[in-house]
A = this chain, B = another copy of it.
């Protein structure tokens, strides 16, 4: 993932592979039908994004420890065995009384609800760019330059917002120079942006860019470039909505699920795991040798509960930080690429007309 991204029409299609085009993605990601008989088994065999991939390492560690304890038990003397079994029984009883199901539900539900609501309110650049382009007079001489600038600044505000919340993007653009290299900002803009977010001037960078956009809109109004005067305030309002959803994204990431809640969830799940490691039902096992074998060496049922908790915990934690590097996370780099491409395509609309595309039509 060390591809350099360029804000440049010719190179802008480098990053995204064809397998990441929505229609292709959708084929791979659409959930299977529910009612076909046997379909369930096919789902269970999938590896990509599967439960097995999530937990195989934990699984290995768990069973390694489990067998270690089983071996320990078999080599103990009678007194040791008695203590071991008493402890096992004690753990078994306590494991049933740890009522963490509801707590996990609370944690995961809260995290997922926030994620889903965030997914639909994530800031998009298309609306504000399109409305600006369509609200100014067509065929202005200076039009293409203004349009390009507005579109680029919108993308820039988007990047500066997501740099704050998304580690991979911060790695991609560690400083303003890297943005200039990628063609997203100009020399002069870089100089200004480097002076803010410092002790001297603590304005967040994204706000500085939105100020530029506001000034551009003011200039557009002053120079009478809007097709209608009332368009000015409308585009301002659309821009403020864009700004607000940028702000909400940052709020989402910085005013998140409390850290202590994540810790609490982790502690209870792993504590439960440790207890089930030791919890063995020797009493019943005693009634038949076959059963003793199962209790000692195939702890599928007792451990299943633990792994369900573990997976659940993972969903919650993935949902808490949806802009990270986890597989289920939102691929912000891909998203950025899309926004850059869109900004070019939309900026082009200013000079394009339908005749260029289809030839003269009978209108």
Contact = CB atoms under 8 A, between A and B. Distances in A.
A11 B346 CA distance: 37
Contact of A345 (B127, B207, B217): B207
Among A202, A221, A321, A342, the most chain B Cβ lie within 10 Å of the Cβ of A202
Given A240-B130, A250-B22, A221 B227 contact: yes
A3 interface: no
Interface size class, chain A: 35 or more
A263 B98 contact: no
A72 interface: no
B202 A16 contact: yes
A198 interface: yes
A261 to B, nearest CB: 6
Number of copies: 5
Interface string A340-360: 011001100100111001110
A2 interface: no
B230 A228 contact: yes
A339 interface: no
A11 to B, nearest CB: 13
A103 B131 CA distance: 45
Contacts of A184: none
A48 to B, nearest CB: 8
A19 to B, nearest CB: 10
Among A135, A255, A341, the most chain B Cβ lie within 10 Å of the Cβ of A255
A324 B314 CA distance: 28
10 contacts: A31-B320, A33-B324, A82-B287, A99-B305, A105-B106, A202-B341, A203-B341, A211-B345, A227-B229, A268-B308
